[in-house]
Structure 1
Amino acid sequence: MAEITRLSGRSDRIDLEFVERERTPIELMELGIRLHLSGLSLLNTISILDKFGVERSRKAVHDWVQKANLQPASDANPDHIALDETVIRINGQQFWLYAAVDPETNKFLHLRLFTTTTTALTQQFLRETCEKHDVKDAVFLVDHAQHLAAALHRAGLRFQTVRHGNRNAVERIFREIKRRTSSFSNSFSHVDPETAETWLQAFAVWWNSFN
């Protein structure tokens, strides 16, 4: 119960203005979202809500996460940015999760899910990151993937090739994402890519609130 108290007591509120006719109290909707993103299954989440006298389906909690449309905050000014990608499977198909992480705060700056990994898509991801944050003086930390270096060079952004040190921040977060999805072998079943991406972005917001 200590974990539930900690989650429900956060001061940074989840924006639930999309709710108009929802019969569940907003405070319990927010609790349900936070519990699910923290690692509880939908079944266990609705069991907790039931203790507060709220009977909702697993689909209802799933829909709350989707409709909240949570996104990592903008306007950061990091000195370094760890940039990387990892494989996520959706209905057996391979997708690539791109992430930019501030290694000093261990927070997500931006993340996207793409069908493949190319220099052009990396450039798109970088443009979106630049639009959200002040990164003109930041140094991007990457591994030896050539498309990452090529995209950064074309964008005129500074970067450094490293295997350890600060770049490990993004690797640690990827491990946590895969731990959270371990029950389905790092894959999402019976959802479309947009739904999976929305869940991952919501997870990033939850992660940032605890770092």
Structure 2
Amino acid sequence: MPENTRLSGSIDQINLEFVEREATPRLLMKLGIQLHLAGLSLSNTVLILEVFGVERARSTVHNWVHKADLQPESGQSPDHVAVDETVIRLNDERYWLYAAVDPETNELLHTKLEPTTNKVIAHSFFAELCEKHDVDDAMFLIDGSFSLKDACQRHGLDFRYERHGNRNSVERIFREIKRRTSSFSNCFSNARAETADDWLRSFAFAWNQLI
């Protein structure tokens, strides 16, 4: 599929029902949201909007992204699901990012940001994943994490240990997320964990549109 078709399709899916009194044309709001989620910093996104005669603060674009409440599409039926957990930093504190990926399409199925990692949190992540997608018959690919193994067993899901192969898809996504969250510190500086969690779901939405 041509890249411009993907971009236009992604823009069409951005819902602006939250807008009440916004002087910015809606198409440019959608463009600003899409450009930032596709990899442009807030500063550069603002510069692009200025080309169209629209001057907005970085915080304004950040609020657009947050209020749009974007997230991956539900109702997927993957054959395999790669699940992993990794540490990212928010205001110099460690948080655990859980992510589930369809390794055949590289699409993000679900993300969750947590202040720690344990069996209860892993179980909650899997419960949300099972509610959003048809994964009862999927094969789950996990590493040696005891909490992920326990969650699979508690939900009656088939799983196998795999450190490479199809699990490389989730590792690539984690690398990109870490690059974005470290490079674009203005996304997360002084942000609450809930705001970062929203941003990560929005990132997942954009990732799925552009892969």
TM-score where L is the length of structure 1? 0.93
Query: Counterpart amino acid of 1:10?
Result: G
Kept after mapping to 2: 8 A contact 1:143/1:163: yes
Kept after mapping to 2: 8 A contact 1:7/1:31: no
Query: Counterpart amino acid of 2:120?
Result: A
Equivalent-residue separation in structure 2 for 1:117 and 1:68 (angstroms): 28
Aligned to 1:9: 8
Over residues 16-48 of structure 1, what are the superposed CA-to-partner deviations in whole Å (9 max), with x where a residue is unaligned? 111121111111001001111122111111110
Residue 144 (structure 2) pairs with residue 144 (structure 1): yes
Aligned to 2:55: 55
Query: Which structure 2 segments of 5+ residues have no match?
Result: none
Could you tell me how far 1:79 is from its partner in structure 2?
A: 0.3
Alignment of 1:46-195 (within 5 A): 46-183=46-183, 188-195=188-195
Q: List structure 1 segments (4+ residues) > 4 angstroms apart after TM superposition.
A: 5-8
Aligned pair count reads 207
Equivalent-residue separation in structure 2 for 1:9 and 1:71 (angstroms): 17
Kept after mapping to 2: 8 A contact 1:8/1:31: no
Tell me the secondary structure at the aligned position of residue 9 of structure 2: coil
Query: Counterpart amino acid of 1:147?
Result: S
Kept after mapping to 1: 8 A contact 2:139/2:158: yes
Equivalent-residue separation in structure 2 for 1:127 and 1:8 (angstroms): 32
Q: CA RMSD in A?
A: 1.7
Equivalent-residue separation in structure 1 for 2:87 and 2:5 (angstroms): 31
Tell me the secondary structure at the aligned position of residue 84 of structure 2: strand
Aligned to 2:30: 30
* Identity of matched residues, %: 60
Equivalent-residue separation in structure 2 for 1:8 and 1:170 (angstroms): 23
Could you tell me how far 1:7 is from its partner in structure 2?
A: 7.3
